[in-house]
Structures are given as structure tokens and as C-alpha cells.
Amino acid sequence: MAIDCWTVLSSLLVGALLAAWQWWRQYSTRFARLGLPYEPPVPLLGNLLGAAFSRRSQHDIVVDLYNKFQPHAYGGLYGFAESMIMIRDPEIIRTITVKDFDHFTDHANFIESEKANPIQQRMLLVLKGKEWHDMRTTLSPAFTSMKMKNMFVLMTEIGQQMVDYLWKETAVYKVPSNKDDVLTLEMKDFFTRITNDVIATSAFGVKVDSLSDPENLFYSMGRELSTIHMMTAICYKLFPKLMLFLGIPFFSEKAMEYFRSVVSETIETREKQGIVRPDMLHLLMQARRGELTSEEGEKDGAATSNARRLTEHDVAAQAIIFFFAGFDTVSTVLTFCSYLLAEHEEVQRRLQQEVDDVMKKSGGQPSYEQVMGCQYLDMVISETLRMYPPAPFLDRECVRAYSLPATDSCPGVELRPRDAIWIPVHGIHNDPNYFPQPDTFRPERFTPENKQLIEPFTYFPFGSGPRICIAQRFALMEIKIVMLYLMSQFSVEVVDKTPVPIKLDPSNSVSVSIKGGAWLGIRQRS
């Protein structure tokens, strides 16, 4: 009997190994059979071995793969247990993200959303197909220029709050007897606290000061929500059903519940007391009632024609993903922007001249139009986004059979539903064919005249096509306000702790960050 059991087990094991070998053979030779250039995969980890073991940042990996596929229009790569095609050609990127968008409407699967937390299911980033389209159409009126202008004053209050804090902290360095002459800060932590406060007031209607009160609950829960461990991300990519079965959440359930309760309680209070505040939560409440307008006094026809009103889960989901998407990405841009300004004093001085002019004309209270009209500030931010985009790649999932065009170097590929596409943002942004001397910080690339010369679909820090970041206006307004208020009173400079030259941190699996920390000096301007 024991021999029979052993025989059965041995047969099952051999069968499983043969099935695994057959799967691996099909998987690993897919692109060779298609006649495409490709990077050979490592079992389970594909071409992301360096990221999985914190040896290489995702941004560096994207650039490496992008360069290896030169001069081909596209090539094959492997992300864990998934094969994908990296598109290098700008014209094909245009076709996929815009012209033939109906074949690539979705992001690639990461979480089995239908079995996930009910709030997680409703996040705009996760939704697919018609559900995504209807939600996007419903929410779009919340992000018009007029709505952003209404939230401008909330952001300027945080800008002034930041200045007051820094003025107090740097005051000691003005004392002649003090041996040190500059306040040294880790800028990613500093800016993360500011973006936390911006989102708290403009999205959730909560007033906090995370610089003066560093351990406040809103900030602590925000850090917990946005901290995603690399191993959790890998396991969700490889074994999503198993992770859900084991009850291991992708987002912290404690943080999710905290933000859900904040949204729920704030809505209840506002409805009972008739409170109206010009923030994102008010706009989501309007969308919930079907009252959201695209501009002043004008209903958004597309939104009302869908006849879809948001549920409480919908409202909480969008508020939470708004926090998740903005908490880290905006602080990342601000961090790299300040680092580059510290390294390039002549750029910083020119920017401060523009800021001083705005502050003088406005009496220290710049308007929405004045801030958004700062041309050199816009150039500096645009160049920062080119060099260090928060997301190293865009992804799309094929939803209908599609033929990638044949080129001089690629034979053409028939895509099937659920095939994944990668668009290497960081690779294209650092391609000298599109941006000469890509490692050089040159805001002049983005003068009004030079912007016209940039090849279309070679610059997309916020995405491309209908799935471009819905909060792009909000993010840019926030970045401009924070940088304007900072530069109006202070200068940033390289100090002994500043890591020079800049290297990307391979241990950060979610976003791009500076290895060794973004340590800079902050000095009051004389």
C-alpha cells in the first residue's frame, strides 16, 4: 500500500514538473517564436530580478531594457510571470494610447479587483472598460481649471504654513554665535509632510500641520497606506488569488478603514450642518447627488447622460486613491526639483527673480493666474519631470485582438486580449535622439518655442491618451505653489550630507528616490 501511495505521489510530482517545464518553455520562448528581440527571463522574476532583490531601481531597469532593444520599434520582456511588449516607437505609442485606444482601455491586472476590499474595487485606477469610462466621465468635471482655481486658496495656506515653519527653524542660523550656518533637511520627508497636508485640506477637508505636529494621525495613516513592501507587490503579481485567499491585503486595511471613516463622518457632518467647502470631497459629494458641473453654472452633459451617481464606497475609493496617487508622487517631484536647483545655482537664481517679481506685483498674495503664469517655474518643473518622472513606465492591457504594425526591424505581432503593453517613459525621456544630453538639467528645453520642437509622444510624465492622470492640473498647481512659496523666502544648497552625484535608490519599489536620502541645506534669503 505504501509503495502504491509513493508511486502515485511520484507520478503526480513528475506530471507537475513536466507541466511546469512545458509552461516555462512556451512562456520563455514566446518572443523568439514571434521573431522579436527580447531579454531572456529568470524563472518567476522575469527581467525584474534586480528590482526584486533591491539591486536596481525600476527606473534604471526600464532605461537598460529600452537601450537594449535599440533600434527596434518594440521588443519582448518579462515582468515576473507575465510576458509584455515594450513599445519604443512614438508613432506606435500614439496609435495605442490615442487612435486605437478602444483596443487598450485598461491597465494590466494587478489585483483581482472583484474579490478585493469593496472600496479598493471602486478606485478609478483599478476600474476597467465601461465601468472605468463611466467613472472617469463622472469625475472629470471635478478637475477642470475652474474647480482647481477654487481650491487654490487651500493650497496657498499650506504654502504659507511651510514658510512659517522654515522661518522659525532657520532663525537660529541667523545668530552670529551659531557655528552652523544652514538648516539641513531630508527633503523627501519634508515634502511628503507638505503634500500630506495639501491633500488633507483639499481632498478630505481636514486641517493638519505635519511639520509642527510630525506624529499626527492623518500623516501616520497616510504613510501606512502608501507603504507597499516589494515582496507583497511581487506575491500579488505572481499569486493574486492565493494572497486574497490568505487574507493578505495589498493596502493596509487599518489605513483604508481610517480614511473611509474620515470621508463618511465628514460627509455626514456637512450634510447635517449644510457646510460647503471648496475641496475635492465637496465635488465628490456633488457627483454623488448628480449635481457636479463642468464649469460655473453649466452641467456636464457627458456626466449627466450616464445617469450614474456615486455610492459612499465610490466617494471613499476616489478620495483614497487620490491620496495614494498624490501623497508620494508630488513629493517626489518636489524633492528632485529642489535637488536640481541646489546643484544648479544659476537656475535657482533665475527662478527666484521670477518668483520675486510675482510676489512684488501681488503684495505677497499671488493669484491663481499669476502662479500658473510663471513661465520659468513651469520650465523647471517640466525638465524635472523629464529627468525623473514618478512613474518609470505606462502599462496597457489589450482588450480586443490587435495587430502591431510590421517595421523595418520588427515582423509585426498579433496581440490577444489580456496581452500587456509597456511604454518606457523613463527610457524615452532619457533618449538623446529626442532630448540631446539627457543627463543635463536644461529647463530651456521647455521654452514655448522649444516645446513646439519636441517630437510628439516622447514626453508624457502624466501618461498619454484618455487614461492620462485625471489629477494632472491639481498636481501641477500644488507643485508650483509649494516651489513658489519656498523660493520666495529661502534658497536650497548642497551640503556635506548631499549625495553627489545623484543615484537612484534600488530599495524603493514603488517610486523613484535618491539613494542616501535627499539631504539639502535650507537658508533664509537675505
CA distance 359 to 366: 6
> pLDDT tens, 66-77?
999 999 999 999
Q: Report yes or no: 136 and 465 within 8 Å, Cβ to Cβ.
A: no
Nearest to 251 by CA among 227, 216, 277, 282: 227
Same domain? 91 vs 149: yes
Same domain? 162 vs 226: yes
> pLDDT tens, 105-143?
999 866 655 556 778 888 888 889 999 999 999 889 888
> pLDDT tens, 39-61?
988 887 878 877 777 788 889 99
Query: What is the amino acid identity at position 25?
Result: R
Looking only at the bridges linking them, the beta strands covering 519-524 and 183-186 are antiparallel
Same domain? 162 vs 130: yes
Same domain? 243 vs 179: yes
- Of these ranges, 204-218, 251-265, 290-304, the one predicted with the greatest mean pLDDT is 204-218
Q: Report yes or no: 119 and 313 within 8 Å, Cβ to Cβ.
A: yes
Verdict on whether the full-model pTM lies above 0.85: yes
Domain count across the chain = 2
Same domain? 444 vs 298: yes
Say how many Å lie between the first and final Cα of the chain, rounded. 90
Same domain? 127 vs 5: no
Same domain? 49 vs 26: no
The more confidently predicted of residues 352 and 281 is: 352
Phi-psi label, residue 495: left if phi above 0, alpha if psi -120 to 50, beta otherwise: beta
Nearest to 194 by CA among 231, 237, 165, 172: 165
Strand partners, 491: 523
469 annotated to bind ligand? yes
Same domain? 24 vs 95: no
Same domain? 87 vs 10: no
Q: Is the peptide bond before 141 cis (omega within 30 degrees of 0)?
A: no
Question: What local confidence, expressed as pLDDT, does residue 298 receive?
Answer: 44
Residue with cell 537598460: 64
For position 374, which CATH number holds? 1.10.630.10
Provide the domain limits for residue 85: 35-524
Sign of CA dihedral 44, 53, 39, 410: positive
With b for 16 or more beta-carbon neighbours within 10 A and e for fewer, the 455-471 pattern comes to: eebbbbbbbbbebebbb
Q: Give me 405's grid cell.
A: 504594425
Same domain? 4 vs 138: no
Q: Give me 42's grid cell.
A: 529568470
Same domain? 111 vs 11: no
What is the 8-class DSSP label of residue 42?
B
Average pLDDT, the chain: 88
- Whether the pLDDT of residue 308 is over 80: the answer is no
Same domain? 132 vs 21: no
As a three-state string, the secondary structure of 79-118 is ECCEEEEEECCHHHHHHHHHHCHHHCCECCCCCCHHHCCH
